[in-house]
Amino acid sequence: MSSYTVANLPRISREKLAEYIRSKKPGVSVIDVRDSDYIGGHIVGCQNVPVNTHDFRMPELVRTLADEDAVVFHCSLSQQRGPSSALKYLRERERMGLVKDGTGEEQKVYVLDGGFSMWQEVYGEDAELTEAYVKDLWD
């Protein structure tokens, strides 16, 4: 049985993630799990992997991101889809034998605190951090 739960998933602040993106820190991937609500903007360089594709895409995602230092999941608010996606990712890594002793120490997996909703409040109009932003959709 997995040791991972939604309650023990670490969060990353929008400020810390913005710092990583601005510095072009290698080894950090952002996974946006929003579905149709992906329109209106997204974090620069993120991958959109909608929740409804996770059943067949999660093993591929785990293999693709295996060498990353950190993976950050988020949805609109990071209350349900983001955390559950991060949990599914961690459990898939565990199932594939990529996690030692269930600790996940070799790769950090985070949930973006407040999701894209809080992100866009500060960084929505910052073209260095946010792409395809449509302010009217967020007002």
Residues noted as catalytic:
75
**Ramachandran class of 37: left when φ > 0, alpha when ψ lies in -120 to 50, beta otherwise:** alpha
Tokens describing residue 37? 């609500």
Residue with tokens 């009217």: 136
Taken in order 12, 127, 138, 35, is the CA torsion positive or negative?
negative
CA nearest to 115, candidates 57, 33, 44: 33
Question: Using an 8 Å Cβ cutoff, are 61 and 95 in contact?
Answer: no
